[in-house]
Structure 1
């Protein structure tokens, strides 16, 4: 058998296996249900937001949180060394909320001016927010998320009914323009095949955990038991690592779709998306060049080569690659629809999106190696310290 024939067989086996696993897994992934009833004494929830140079989005996020229907809520917004008007906007919003009738949700602002050694800025900001929080439940969220009014009430009701210590939600991801939308959806697709998020819903396993930055709600005692954000102080993928740590510690975890309750415009342009992912893709490979190489080769073999095989081959190898492409398209549409509620009509862009992600992965590794670390929101973090942590 030729080398190309072997590659065709490998690709076909991969897509058959991953499709079977994903079909079973997607059955475990449901949308967050509406709360039928809250407990008589609902627990206090502390919403903690880290914001750095977020003047264009932070007001919408906090204002939507101030309209939540949940009766016991506090919001702690942490201004992490912002050089723009983020801090000013937050203080103005705090004063407005205190004067506004009908808003009974306290809003506290924490201003950070210095970053201690051994911390990534966002992780340190979230930890400082935790130190100010009084809630039994802690909700870590990003500064650009839009919440529907019943989101937190629905989440608390679900956690209490199902005795869940950690709940994370996938948001509806807004992307303007076909190329950007295809890239964002493909990243979600490839990431999901890599981490298998639905496995977090399997209570028999402690291996597969997940956390999503848009919505990480955790029982306070569970968060403290894993060492808080101190345990992941230098992880750029702090949201994912938080979920992994909680699952491995044996806490009950659920990942649900928040497609009807949360939305985020992750990136405003394709260039911004590629630049944004540069900082943390290499961390997903544990800063291992060998692991990164394997991931890049897998991206080339399983996601890109089958499309090229359609153009170059007219024999059984071409037929094998055709099946790979059909499975890839079908599974992509199913996964995007289940997780974020989109029809994924841009599936025809899959080879382009896969090539763009491959480029981003390679660039992330190369830039981290060349710089000796990563730049994130204006702060440099050395690779040797990132690997040590």
Structure 2
């Protein structure tokens, strides 16, 4: 059937990219040069349930000198008190208070900019409060940056997924990055439009970061990882996505509702554009959803089997739960629903809310 041929052809793109990216995504093991100091920077807003475990992991870092700076960004819970208790017994920990959010800034980006000003390290490692660093992570990322002269190193932490709602949403991050991004964000390709990063885990070389204007250069964005990576590349610096699975863990969301809201926020500056989203819909639905409507055609069966095999390979490499693999078609369907919802909300001028703040609709771009 001609339609089945088309579906199989659309499946070849993620298969080719996936095989290449799975084989070539760097896994870090080296140690940094003498004199390296990594500032681990944590923006925190109402993170009382997360911040202690985050600090414990950061303070267990080995292989280089570290400091840990936490910015309390207007928390109304005990976040600040918890950090202060750590600072009282470990001189490597500092708590700073975020000033009022200036007009035109988004909350996390503003906190990261102020954290960078407070840092003293040769490298700045921005992490979210729900990230748990491996002991070697800070040193390995700084070593990769220094050895290969890469200004920005990022990776997707191993995602902790415990509910169906998370399983339907979170695995799409790694699948999209590995199977649909040419070169997988590696430094071999310097094109700014192909830059990528995960905002949960970003290390930058301080001098390069300051040279590009830091977070102040992207002050109005919500998806800071992608915007910062593009800013580096636009200014002639290399960026690279590495295998984040051995470097850190993270539980992004604890249910479907939180995941839906978080991904809609980020979609506004990702796939959800008037020109881009129809193309993404054809690519994703054509390879992962359409074949189900063409059963029992043998080529449709082959396409479905190939997509499950590809998803299984990504799941194995990233350490995500195996029970999420059978959910793959629904994961793609939910991802498209999130993107289209974000696009419609943006077109209607509806604000995106996160952590108690609301931001104006993103400007639609092609």
**TM-score of the superposed pair, with normalisation by structure 2:** 0.90
Aligned to 1:359: 337
Query: Distance in 1 between the 2:233 and 2:137 partners?
Result: 23
Is the counterpart of residue 334 in structure 1 residue 334 in structure 2? no
Larger gyration radius, structure 1 or structure 2: 1
Match of 1:75 in 2: 68
Counterpart-to-counterpart distance in 2, 1:326 and 1:6: 19
Distance in 1 (CA, whole Å) between partners of 2:194 and 2:67 is: 31
2:21 aligned with 1:25: yes
Q: Cα distance 1:233–1:361, how it changes in 2: closer, same or farther (>3 A)?
A: same
Structure 1, 5-14 or 261-270: larger mean CA deviation: 5-14
Give the match's secondary structure for 1:258: coil
Matched, 1:212 2:198: yes
Q: How many pairs were matched up?
A: 365
Task: Name the CA distance, whole Å, in 2 between partners of 1:372 and 1:259.
Answer: 35
* Equivalent residues of 1:165, 1:218 under 8 A apart: yes
SS at match of 2:269: helix
Q: Evaluate the alpha carbon distance shift between residue 12 and residue 188 of structure 1 in structure 2; reply closer, same or farther with a 3 A threshold.
A: same
Following superposition of structure 1 onto structure 2, how do residues 101-120 of structure 1 map, counting pairs within 5 Å?
Answer: 106-120=92-106
How far has the Cα of 1:345 moved from its partner? Answer: 4.5
Tell me if 1:10 matches 2:6: yes
Aligned match for 2:58, one of 60, 65, 69 = 65
The answer to whether structure 1 residue 153 and structure 2 residue 139 are counterparts is yes
Q: CA deviation at 1:331?
A: 1.3
Partners of 1:200 and 1:247 within 8 A in 2: no
CA distance in 2, matches of 1:254, 1:304: 31
In 2: Cα distance, 1:151 partner to 1:307 partner: 42
Change (3 A) 1:196 1:336: farther
Residues 21 and 356 of structure 1: is their aligned pair in 2 closer, same or farther, counting only changes over 3 Å?
Answer: closer
Over 3 Å counting, the alpha-carbon distance change for 1:197 and 1:216 in structure 2 is: farther
Task: Tell me which residue corresponds to 1:55.
Answer: 48
* CA positional deviation for 1:356: 1.9
RMSD, matched Cα: 2.4
5 Å matches for 1:1-389?
6-33=2-29, 35=30, 37-39=31-33, 41-98=34-91, 106-178=92-164, 180-196=166-182, 198-203=184-189, 205=191, 207-285=193-271, 288-310=273-295, 314=296, 318-338=297-317, 340-342=318-320, 344-370=322-348, 372-383=350-361
Return 5+ residue gaps in structure 2 as ranges: none
